[in-house]
Structure 1
């Protein structure tokens, strides 16, 4: 994986976490409970996806740097 793609995945993960946490704090009162359950599930799933993308990007970035230096492990 190239450094650009790895960096993009890390930035995307950070953006997704920021976006969904902001949405969670901005949900207004007065909706039915099902609205909050559905949005809570969406927020949780997207934060998990963001963390996975960040980890993949981090590992890809470390691998690209190691490959550039010629390290085997």
Structure 2
């Protein structure tokens, strides 16, 4: 077997996350859910005039921050799923 074939086959092996990293990623995902849901709730209830104008229409501030919250929520969800899958892959193995 040549050097390049050995490298190629090792590059295709699945990555195994440690238990500590998996828990960290899962906790980050849960924290993101809490943080961004709370943020959107507060944004929606904003009475200061930043999120909604006098006519009750959403402002640019509202749309930018809603988009930021949605993207961050989705990234946090993806990171949490990676952590969950890492923990599930370690199930039944001795502590790492």
What's the TM-score, normalizing by structure 1?
Answer: 0.84
| Larger helix share, 1 or 2 | 1
Q: Which runs of 5+ in 2 are unaligned?
A: 1-16, 54-58
Larger Rg: 2
1:54 paired residue number: 80
1:54-73 deviations in Å (ceiling 9; x for gaps): 1100111111225x17xxxx
Alignment counterpart, residue 25 of structure 1, candidates 29, 41, 58: 41
Q: Which runs of 5+ in 1 are unaligned?
A: none
Deviation at 1:26, TM superposition (A): 1.3
The alignment partner of 1:35 has SS state of helix
Where do 4+ consecutive residues of structure 1 move more than 6 Å?
none
Greater relative CO (CA pairs within 8 A, separation 6+): 1
1:34 paired residue number: 60
User: How many aligned residue pairs are there?
Assistant: 68
Q: CA RMSD in A?
A: 1.4
**Matching of residue 65 in structure 1 with residue 91 in structure 2:** yes
